[in-house]
Structure 1
Amino acid sequence: MSWNSLDDIELAGKTVLVRADINVPMEGGKVTDATRIERLTPTIRDILAAGGKPVLLSHFGRPKGKVVPEMSLRTLVPALEEAFDTPVVFCADTTGPAAQTAVDVLPDGSVLLLENTRFLAGEEKNDADLAAAMAALGDVYCNDAFSCAHRAHASTEAVARHLPSCAGRLMEAELKALDAALGSPDRPVVAVVGGAKVSTKLELLGNLVEKVDHLVIGGGMANTFLAAKGLDVGASLAEHDMTGIANQIMQKADAAGCAILLPSDVVVAREFRAGAPHDIVPAEACPADAMILDAGPESVARIEETLGTAKTLIWNGPLGAFEIEPFDAATNAAALVAARLTRAGKLTSVAGGGDTVAALNKAGAADDFTYISSAGGAFLEWMEGKTLPGVAALQG
């Protein structure tokens, strides 16, 4: 991958348009999770330290090209000022004379926040005129919103064609982590993919079997693969209409030299609730009236052995019903092994996706992973091997 970072562009005296993702959860007019704002802070501080003038572009909610007062970015000013430790000036416009005046009079050391980009109908249409109007406000474009990189919008893609462009610190860290995981990884590479349905991760699985050496499949989708192998999965969540596709994926993996690890023993229960009576049985011996809710200890041991031989790990999705005990055991155990190996310098571990982050946090393993992506859809599309417009624009 070839793209500029903040270190590659002269920022002194320049207005830097920063595409951020500060679409944070709020309740009662206050931010309830400032993680995205906190992750933006290094970029803002570095621009200010270099003598640049940061001007923030971001969306908030889904106003669909119309002004929706409760989706104004104005309410985020206190949280931004607290995170950046510097004044933040709000402008009720995103482009045009008022926005230009706000840029011109912005005091040194301050940050300008422009109004919600999605208030403008041309944003999600990647409108060329809107992008040009945005670009007219700045000298440099900095994209620090990897979480929006899979969208070709005016503020994420088209604007980059008008100005010298670079990746912000969060985007830079994300791209380096992803390149280390699948672009040019140290081998062997192991991927852990879990979740409920094969149908939602077809492209992901099809791409991974040609990129990794071992593919661990868990969660509800593992049941579909077990059914494809002719095993009775009882009352388990499974997509029986997808067994043909599952067989195709296994054949593709075999041809590519990728070893697929499916559960060899499973944890079964007759009801889905915390502390439900449960048994550990061989994968081929699931009772007809029981559900598979987790991988068993023998399966976990095989996963741990595989991780012990790996140099690189990419993880998306839990191995079982991690939300409730005791069906979180396999996810917790495997995650803690990955964390220990990473801490010891033996493994580069990259993880992402909503349930993944929650599961690794619950296991107490997240802090030791090399990189945890908060990008959601962009992370998944990257795993699927798709070109991300927001990243491609920086390379152009």
Structure 2
Amino acid sequence: MSAFRTLDDADVGGKRVLLRVDLNVPMENGRVTDATRLERVVPTIREIAGKGGRVVLLAHFGRPKGKRVESESLAPVAAALEGLLGRPVAFAEDCVGEPARAAVSAMADGDVVLLENTRFHAGEEKNDPDFAKALAESGDLFVNDAFSAAHRAHASTEGLAHVLPSFAGRAMQAELDALTKGLEHPERPLCAVVGGAKVSTKLDLLENLVAKVDSLVIGGGMANTFLHAIGVGVGKSLAERDLAATAQRILDRAKETGCAIILPVDATVAERFEEHAPHHEYGIDAIPDAGMILDVGSLSVDRVRAAISDAKTLVWNGPLGAFEKSPFDKGTVEAARFAAERTRAGKLVSVAGGGDTVAALNHAGVADDFSYVSTAGGAFLEWLEGKPLPGVEALRRS
């Protein structure tokens, strides 16, 4: 049984179901330019409507800071969602008060209505109990399908769960199941790959992971900080030299917990960060003073592949190099393709997430081959850091 209440526990027939979704999609000239987030919530909407529930959609868009901003209205999103669902999606010009009441009162079983941007009200981000109660007037049940907003204790993500019977939608359930398999109850050995530019943005993540994983691959610019900490010259590479003591503390902690830290042993180096800049592979003990480490080298990729090969579960956050420019994408692409190959063969559970990570896996052409790829960004990172997510905790079985 899931640790969370899901739609399997809910009787939605004939009920008004307040469904919190993430519709914060990219827009251009009033049109949705990437419908990925809309596609992820379609199954939950269809299931509730198919069972005779009245689907009342709640979502935020942009950062209007508690005021009505017409350019951040959800109205254009209703039309895009209608096209994906293949059924009408009505729109209410407010998420509370008379406009919401009138739109919801007009619904029949199986209907779908989208209420206006919750962030047009200051009570949303303040998690104002009175605003949560006002939202709750439109529903008999609350279903949260917006994991990407679950790290925020807002009225429509956390507050509502204390007012109405509450459940996880199918997209939320899939995310929670994947993350539970990845970090809370993984099949071991468990390997983590953490990359990206700066140690400073992932301190909590690294300190949590060294206590939980069997091996930790550190790549990207943050690896340079660790190399500097152990006395390796990194030339003109991006490195947070002032965090050397912090990096050393993480290395010491890994020794205490028995976590194997895997740092680069060689690197692809150039003097300029440009597409197809002249480059060369060097052992990590021979980085030129004028050089910049822009990717892991071939031997390092072999070590990453070996760590992934030994693992039964992989958690991945961040690229191994400056993958945006060729040929500095090689390490990330080769490691990602190897992880995908192991996953396809049924030998690995692979869970990845974070904006750069999703972009890197798409660049490698393997995002669909991982067991689960989270698009949740901040919520995914906070989960990996071991922090409780308010919108998730509210759905736990008591």
TM-score, structure 1 normalization: 0.99
User: Does 2:126 align with 1:125?
Assistant: yes
Please give the per-residue CA displacement for 1:84-109, whole angstroms capped at 9, x wherever unaligned: 11100100111123312211111333
Deviation string for 1:283-333 (max 9, x for gaps)? 111000000011000010011111111000000000001001111110000
Matching residue of 1:392: 393
Contact 1:86 1:109 in 2 (8 A): no
Give the AA of the match of 1:85.
G
Looking at structure 2, the residues matched to 30 and 98 of structure 1 have their Cα atoms a distance apart, in angstroms, of 24
Matched residue SS, 2:395 = helix
Structure 1 unmatched runs, 5+: none
Q: CA deviation at 1:78?
A: 1.3
The CA distance in 1 between the partners of 2:359 and 2:103, in whole Å, is 40
Query: Counterpart in 2 of 1:77?
Result: 78
Q: Deviations over 1:90-138 (max 9, x none)?
A: 0011112331221111133321110100000100000000001111211
Structure 2: runs of 5+ lacking an equivalent:
none
Please name the residue that 2:87 is paired with: 86
Greater than 6 Å deviation, 4+ residue runs:
none
Tell me how far apart the structure 1 counterparts of residues 8 and 319 of structure 2 sit (CA, whole Å): 37
SS of equivalent to 2:124: coil
Partner of 2:270: 269
Count matched residues: 396
Alignment partners' CA distance in 2, 1:108 and 1:165: 20
Cα distance in 2, alignment partners of residues 51 and 328 from structure 1: 49
| Residue type at the aligned position of 2:366 | A
Q: Which residue of 1 aligns with 2:188?
A: 187
Q: 2-side partners of 1:197 and 1:307: how far apart? A: 23
Matching of residues 234-249 of structure 1 within 5 Å? 234-249=235-250
CA distance in 1, matches of 2:29, 2:306: 48
Tell me, in whole angstroms, the C-alpha distance in 1 between the residues paired with 2:271 and 2:319.
Answer: 20
2:328 corresponds to 1:333? no
| Distance in 1 separating the partners of 2:388 and 2:165 | 21
What are the residue-to-residue correspondences of 1:159-174 with 2, within 5 Å? 159-174=160-175
> Residue 365 of structure 1 corresponds to which residue in structure 2?
366
Alignment partners' CA distance in 2, 1:48 and 1:123: 26
Q: Match of 2:324, SS? A: coil
Q: Distance in 1 between matches of 2:40 and 2:334?
A: 28
Preserved CA contact (<8 Å) 2:147 2:175: yes
Q: Judge conservation of contact 2:51–2:110 (CA < 8 Å) in 1.
A: no
What do residues 367-396 of structure 1 show as CA deviations (whole Å, max 9, x unaligned)?
A: 100000000000000010000000011115
Query: Does the 8 Å contact 1:24/1:34 carry over to 2?
Result: yes
| Cross-structure match for 2:45 | 44
Partner of 2:323: 322
Q: For residue 8 of structure 1, report the CA deviation from its aligned partner.
A: 1.0
One-letter amino acid of the counterpart of residue 215, structure 1: L
Shift of 1:64: 0.1
Secondary structure of 1:359's counterpart equals: helix
Identity %: 61
Aligned residue number for residue 20 of structure 1: 21
Tell me the SS of whatever aligns to 2:242.
helix
Q: CA deviation at 1:223?
A: 0.3
CA apart distance, 1:336 = 0.3
Which region of structure 1 is more displaced relative to structure 2, 153-162 or 90-99?
90-99
| SS of 1:281 mapped into structure 2 | strand
Letter in 1 for 2:388: T
Paired position in structure 2 for 1:282: 283
Give me the whole-angstrom Cα distance separating, in 2, the residues matched to 1:300 and 1:103.
56
**Displacement, 1:183?**
0.6
Residue 381 of structure 1 pairs with residue 376 of structure 2: no
Superposition deviation, residue 218 in structure 1: 0.3
**TM-score, normalising length: structure 2:** 0.98
Cα distance in structure 2, aligned partners of 1:63 and 1:231: 47
What is the distance in 2 between the residues matched to 1:262 and 1:365? 24
State the match for 2:111 in structure 1.
110
> Could you tell me how far apart the structure 2 residues matched to 1:141 and 1:269 are?
54
Q: Which amino acid aligns with 1:233?
A: V
Letter of the 1:31 partner, please give it.
Answer: V
CA RMSD of aligned residues (A): 0.8
**How many angstroms apart in 2 are the aligned matches of 1:317 and 1:155?**
30
Secondary structure at the residue paired with 2:125?
Answer: coil
- How far does residue 274 in structure 1 lie from its aligned partner after superposition? 1.1
- Aligned partner letter, 1:304: R
Q: Which moved more, 1:89-98 or 1:252-261?
A: 89-98
The whole-number CA distance in structure 2 between the counterparts of 1:312 and 1:77 is 39
The amino acid across from 2:212 in the alignment is K
Residue 274 of structure 2 aligns with an amino acid whose one-letter code is R
> 1: CA distance between counterparts of 2:126 and 2:219?
38
Render the CA deviation track for 1:57-86: whole Å, top value 9, x for unaligned.
000000000000111111112101011111
Are the counterparts in 2 of residues 103 and 137 from structure 1 also a CA contact under 8 Å?
yes
CA contact (8 A) 1:341 1:347 kept: yes
Alignment partners' CA distance in 2, 1:93 and 1:235: 53
CA distance in 2, matches of 1:60, 1:280: 45
